[in-house]
Amino acid sequence: MAKSDPHLLTGIPTLDIRAFKNGSEKDKAAFASALGEAYETIGFAAIHGHGISDELITRLYSESESFFALPAETKRQYARPETNNQRGFVSMGVEHAKDSEAADLKEFWQVGQPHPPVHHAPLHFPRNEEVKEYPVFQKTAIETFEALEELGQTVLRAIAIHLGVDEFYFDDWVAGGNSILRAIHYPPIASEPDSAVRAGQHEDINLITLLVGASASGLQVLRNDQAWIPITALPEHIVVNVGDMLQRLTNHRLKSTTHRVVNPPRSEWSKPRFSMPFFCHPKPDMRLDAMPHLVEEGAAPIDPPINAGDYLEQRLREIGLAK
């Protein structure tokens, strides 16, 4: 029941999470092992049987498209650079991949934790923005945020079992954590682009990323043999990948894989692309120091100690979202 599907989804394992949620202890262990194997090799897996309704996802995509169709001056009213661009609208030309000066060809809307911890720091948990021209958009985005946060917590329970720690190791850190739902719009390509990519090659910052199937192809993952392979999630799948925080915490046992979004063929330049990643972050005071049992005796951890809040701020500066 918990085994990978007999086929691979364009090169990454596909797993039915119902084996973990509803199966026997043996099924749960098998799912955790298969997921862990995927994350120790390519760092990506496709999850189905997750229970998030197609209707909700379709609605969010439709409402995102309507929001991004608003006039540029209207959208810019919702820019919130004082939040390190972690809330509201972020325009084209702001974000770039780490160690790259070329801006990504995208604009996006960010929704953060709707239920922040009591006595939270406003810097880490600024308020979410409402779009007065289109109030239903934020309502649907928060509904999707809550569904993906719950799914992310389930995935992290399986990861915890694979790592040999308590199944609920991540629960208190992730529930009410500093996660972000990002609605991304890659506009149509109007003239010969300067490069072949819409979003430069990068690794995600967070613990795990849950990616609802994009409206068009373009996502590519860098395999261990340095070959780029395309990843196109089927409508019923959510692609879940490891981020740098989890890689640090596991002393690189789990892999934060490099990925990018490439331009479509010229015949499809007139089509926009929409994407909905959910970046699952812990609370800012979670330590990302390598788990002691994953560091060989007598060896030093690969990465220096740091907490999640400081690490996030450091990385946001590197990609142009924070000053």
pLDDT tens per residue, range 118-131: 888 888 899 999 99
What amino acid is encoded at 245 in this protein?
A: M
Q: How many residues does the chain have?
A: 323
Least confident of 1-15, 50-64, 151-165: 1-15
Residue 196 pLDDT greater than 70, yes or no? no
pLDDT confidence of residue 1: 35
Q: Tell me how far apart the alpha carbons of residues 215 and 78 are, in angstroms, rounded to a whole number.
A: 24
Band the pLDDT of 189: cuts 50, 70, 90: confident
Mapped onto helix, strand or coil, the DSSP state of residue 300 is coil
Give the confidence band of 218 by pLDDT, cuts at 50, 70, 90: confident
- Distances in Å between the Cα of 28 and the Cα atoms of 49, 119, 210, 269 are 14, 36, 20, 44
For 86-113, letters b (16+ CB in 10 Å) and e give: bbbbbeeebbbbeebeebbbbbbbbbbb
Higher local confidence (pLDDT), 101 or 181 = 181
Q: Pick from 95, 125, 122, 123: which is nearest to 108 by CA? A: 95
Q: Say if CB 89 and CB 64 are below 8 A apart.
A: no
pLDDT band for position 10 (cuts 50, 70, 90): low
pLDDT for residue 96: 85
State mean pLDDT over 308-314: 96
pLDDT score recorded for residue 105: 84
pLDDT at 226 > cutoff 90: no
Q: Which of 184-188, 266-270, 317-321 has the lowest mean pLDDT?
A: 266-270
The DSSP line for 124-178 is TSPPPP--TT-HHHHHHHHHHHHHHHHHHHHHHHHHHHHHTS-TTTTHHHHTT--
Closest CA to 48 of 6, 18, 10: 18
Buried b (16+ CB within 10 A) or exposed e, 118-128: eebeeebbbeb
Confidence band, pLDDT 50/70/90 cuts, at residue 11: low
314: confidence class by pLDDT, cuts 50, 70, 90: very high
Q: What is the pTM of this model?
A: 0.93
For residues 305-322, give the mean pLDDT.
94
| β strands within the chain, DSSP E | 14-16, 44-48, 88-90, 107-112, 180-186, 197-202, 208-212, 219-222, 228-230, 238-242, 259-262, 273-280
Rounded to the nearest integer, the mean pLDDT of the chain is 90
Phi, psi of 33 (to 5 degrees): -65, -45
**Which of 128, 136, 224, 122 lies closest to 182 in space, CA to CA?**
128
Mean pLDDT of 48-70: 94
Mean pLDDT, to the nearest integer, of 148-168? 98
- Asked if pLDDT for residue 215 goes beyond 80, the answer is no
Which two tokens mark 90? Answer: 């972020």
| pLDDT at position 103 over 90 | no
pLDDT in tens, 230-256: 887 677 889 999 999 999 999 999 999
Helix axes 135-163, 25-41, angle to 10 degrees: 100
Give the pLDDT band of residue 158 (cuts 50, 70, 90): very high
Enumerate domains of the chain plus CATH numbers. 52-318 (2.60.120.330)
> What was the pLDDT predicted at 118?
86
